[in-house]
């Protein structure tokens, strides 16, 4: 509930009633009178400005100061001068926001593609209406549209402008109202006129064949999707993908961007690139410069010699506003009601409105010709007796009686008599009167033609068609925005965007995982670990490799190596319990990098059993982060080894028994949880405590520890068989 002041007392009022009384009129005022364009292609602010310039005689004349126009416009538009001037700026040729500007300008009006290029004050710039405004105001003086009073009732202004082409589609128009918005992209004038002519001839024509895509004043490229474009043309909603155009100078090592999407600015692109370089996502760029001058936009990128410029641009398209989208929302006021329409529906509404305008123009011409005919009919009667007319005028005593006496003398009405009375003395000759009355036949033919046109819609449509053809011929221009079919556009996947480099991973006993590029590792000193920590495994691979991390709980965690941030030698690395969200007390005991999941894993358990599982058993089609039951948990895990081919291994029991065997004796099982086969037998309750490759052990006489049959207990360690006796005696 809300409270309202009424007769000095506070009264409760339902919030719904308050909204209806106060909020709804405001919302409708914004929608209808400010933010949403109408079928003539203009918002009220645009229309008031252009009409003011038209009444100032700025169509086909010299330019005047913008401040003068702004001041005059305030008679129709009760807003501040700055708001009016900003409206003018967008309509100018200098700003470049429109495909076909309505205002021919002189001076600095900023640029559509620049966020920071400020326009000059209105006292410095000059404007006049552009030539194309002849088509915007065509027929305005022939009662083609309705007029209304301005805000203080001192002037009349048109409710719409009788544009002779669908200007609503030719120039971009954006507006934000209350609860709704409008975002209309621009289309090529030639294509719009041809599409309208095609609609007149056959409303069922295929629009995409005539009007393939929007056209923007900043050029660039549209990534063309026939399916998406068909949706936009039919529904008025969707998005158009735009991307910049560029040229590569490989000799000097730089890229020049000459055209950017309509929806971005040079400064925004530079900000995006700078942020990417600072964050390390882009390393191929040395410098970026805005070299825009009087010749137009130019954004220069200096790239490193080792970089591929085209691949670099693909990255920039992905991460910066060098590639953006234009969101389409064709919301237009039709008879005061906002409606979202497809392009063909907009053309249909425009055509119905334009037919009404042409009807009113023809009706205006017809009325004028009928009036002229009526006057000439009166003049024709004078031809019968000019002397009588002169005598009536000469013999009339008072001037006020001349018209009544002529009416009585020749049986004509007051309008005809007034016309005769206004004829100068030198024109009262037979030749003049015969010449005027000879126009009657021509007038009759013209009147008949106009009446026939009013009664025949086909003739009205032919007139509209001729006007559209004339507009396209006079003002049409080549398409600025080029179309690139989506099938011809190279799109880098997330995986391709990642830089692939050689690296080394280190796993410590306390569960820290450190990732170092080989380039930084070569110049590194001692790798930092915690005081009581040590490296238990290190391996070399690539940044795009899959990383498998096996825990002591029978789980394997999967991730891409590039998902781990790069470290410095002085960093401790990533703490795996946090990185992988490990369970309480769970720790990583083995890691492996792979690109192709080749080879197999050999598991050694405390029970003396060994299991061999293909690495491909851990490959998944989906991007799963965790696989449970990665190996058997029937006995505690002692070691994991990755093999590409079988080799000799050494296992040691808790009572110092040693057994050497080849991994071929362990059969390959496709089931990850296989318990394996018994290799080392237990004696007096002994357990397997170590499993190593023979090549990594200190044993120099392996035959001493081999058994003909497996499983076996093994043999006690003999010092003479060890290359490093002290290490061997200390055990695994």
Instruction: Convert the pLDDT of each residue in 287-337 to its tens digit.
Output: 999 999 888 899 999 999 888 899 899 999 999 999 999 999 999 999 989
Mean pLDDT of all residues belonging to the chain: 90
Identify which has the larger pLDDT, 111 or 20. Answer: 111
Model confidence at 440: pLDDT above 80: yes
Helices (H), 572-653: 576-580
Distance CA 376, CA 436 (A): 7
Cis peptide before 325 (omega within 30 of 0): no
Nearest 10 degrees: Cα torsion 513, 517, 522, 526 = -20
* CA angle 68–71–72, rounded 5-degree value: 90
The CA-atom distances, in angstroms, between 113 and each of 106, 145, 690, 731 are 18, 36, 69, 73
Per-residue pLDDT reduced to its tens digit, 634-646? 999 999 999 999 9
Q: pLDDT digit string (tens) for 118-137? A: 999 999 999 999 999 999 99
Q: Which of 23, 26, 124, 716 is catalytic?
A: 124
Statement: residue 200 has pLDDT above 70:
yes
Q: Is 199 considered catalytic here?
A: no
Q: Is the per-residue pLDDT at 731 higher than 70?
A: no
Predicted pLDDT at 420: 84
Contact present, 546 and 593 (Cβ < 8 Å): yes
Reported confidence tier of residue 2, pLDDT bands at 50, 70, 90: very low
Distance CA 150, CA 72 (A): 13
291: three-class secondary structure by DSSP: coil
* Distance (Å, whole) CA 427 – CA 417: 16
CA distance 41 to 262: 19
Crossing angle of helices 414-421 and 343-382, in 10° steps, is: 70
pLDDT of 499 reads 75
Percent of the residues in the chain that have a pLDDT greater than 90, as a whole number: 69
pLDDT in tens, 228-249: 999 999 999 999 999 999 999 9
Task: For 383-435, write each residue's pLDDT tens digit.
Answer: 778 888 888 888 888 888 889 998 988 889 999 989 888 888 777 777 777 78
**DSSP assignment letter at 528:** P
């Amino acid at each position: 509930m809300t409270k309202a002041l009424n007769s000095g007392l506070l009264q409760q009022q339902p919030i719904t009633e308050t909204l209806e009384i106060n909020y709804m009129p405001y919302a409708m005022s914004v929608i209808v009178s400010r933010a949403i364009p109408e079928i003539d292609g203009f918002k009220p602010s645009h229309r008031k400005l252009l009409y003011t310039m038209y009444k100032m005689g700025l169509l086909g004349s010299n330019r005047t100061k913008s401040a003068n126009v702004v001041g005059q416009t305030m008679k129709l538009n009760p807003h501040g001068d700055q708001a009016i001037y900003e409206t003018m700026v967008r309509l100018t040729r200098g700003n470049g926001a429109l495909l076909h500007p309505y205002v021919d300008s002189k001076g600095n009006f900023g640029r559509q593609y620049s966020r920071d290029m400020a326009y000059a004050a209105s006292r410095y710039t000059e404007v006049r209406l552009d030539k194309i405004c002849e088509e915007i105001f065509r027929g305005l003086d022939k009662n083609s549209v309705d007029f209304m009073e301005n805000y203080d009732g001192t002037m009349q202004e048109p409710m719409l402008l009788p544009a002779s082409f669908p200007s609503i589609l030719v120039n971009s128009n954006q507006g934000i109202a209350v609860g709704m918005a409008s975002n209309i992209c621009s289309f090529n004038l030639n294509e719009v006129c041809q599409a309208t002519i095609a609609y007149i001839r056959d409303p069922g024509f295929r629009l995409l064949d005539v009007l393939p895509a929007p056209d923007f004043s900043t050029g660039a490229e549209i990534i063309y999707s026939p399916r998406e474009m068909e949706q936009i043309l039919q529904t008025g909603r969707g998005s158009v993908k735009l991307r910049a155009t560029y040229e590569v100078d490989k000799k000097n090592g730089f890229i020049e961007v000459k055209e950017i999407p309509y929806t971005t600015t040079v400064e925004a692109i530079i900000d995006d690139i700078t942020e990417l370089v600072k964050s390390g996502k882009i390393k191929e760029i040395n410098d970026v410069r805005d070299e825009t001058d009087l010749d137009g936009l130019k954004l220069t990128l200096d790239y490193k010699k080792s970089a591929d410029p085209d691949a670099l641009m693909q990255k920039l398209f992905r991460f910066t506003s060098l590639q953006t989208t234009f969101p389409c929302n064709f919301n237009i006021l039709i008879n005061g009601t906002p409606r979202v329409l497809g392009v063909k529906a907009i053309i249909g509404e425009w055509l119905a409105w334009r037919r009404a305008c042409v009807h009113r123009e023809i009706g205006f011409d017809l009325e004028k010709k009928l009036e002229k005919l009526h006057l000439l009919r009166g003049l024709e009667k004078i031809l019968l007796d000019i002397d009588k007319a002169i005598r009536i005028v000469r013999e009339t005593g008072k001037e006020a009686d001349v018209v009544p006496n002529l009416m009585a003398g020749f049986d004509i009405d007051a309008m005809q008599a007034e016309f005769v009375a206004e004829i100068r003395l030198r024109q009262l000759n037979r030749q003049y009167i015969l010449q005027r009355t000879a126009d009657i036949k021509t007038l009759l033919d013209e009147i008949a033609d106009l009446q026939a046109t009013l009664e025949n819609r086909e003739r009205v449509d032919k007139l509209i068609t001729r006007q559209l053809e004339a507009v396209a011929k006079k003002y049409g221009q080549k398409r600025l925005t080029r179309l690139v079919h989506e099938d011809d556009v190279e799109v880098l996947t997330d995986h391709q965007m990642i830089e692939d480099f050689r690296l080394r991973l280190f796993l410590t006993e306390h569960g820290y995982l450190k990732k170092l590029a080989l380039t930084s590792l070569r110049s590194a000193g001692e790798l930092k670990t915690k005081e009581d920590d040590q490296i238990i495994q290190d391996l070399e691979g690539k940044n795009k490799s899959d990383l498998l991390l096996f825990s002591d709980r029978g789980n394997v965690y999967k991730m891409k190596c590039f998902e781990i941030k790069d470290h410095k030698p002085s960093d401790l690395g990533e703490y795996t319990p946090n990185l992988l969200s490990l369970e309480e007390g769970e720790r990583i005991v083995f890691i492996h990098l792979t690109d192709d999941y080749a080879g197999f894993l050999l598991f050694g358990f405390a029970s003396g059993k060994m299991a061999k599982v293909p690495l491909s058993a851990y490959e998944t089609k989906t991007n799963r982060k965790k696989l449970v039951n990665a190996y058997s948990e029937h006995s505690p895990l002692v070691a994991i080894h990755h093999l590409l081919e079988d080799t000799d291994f050494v296992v040691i029991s808790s009572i110092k028994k040693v057994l050497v065997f080849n991994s071929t004796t362990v059969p390959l099982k496709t089931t990850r949880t296989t318990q394996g086969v018994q290799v080392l037998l237990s004696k007096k309750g002994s357990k397997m405590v170590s499993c190593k490759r023979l090549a990594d052990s200190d044993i120099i006489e392996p035959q001493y520890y081999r058994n003909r049959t497996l499983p076996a207990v093994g043999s006690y360690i003999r010092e003479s068989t060890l290359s490093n006796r002290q290490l061997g005696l200390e055990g695994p």
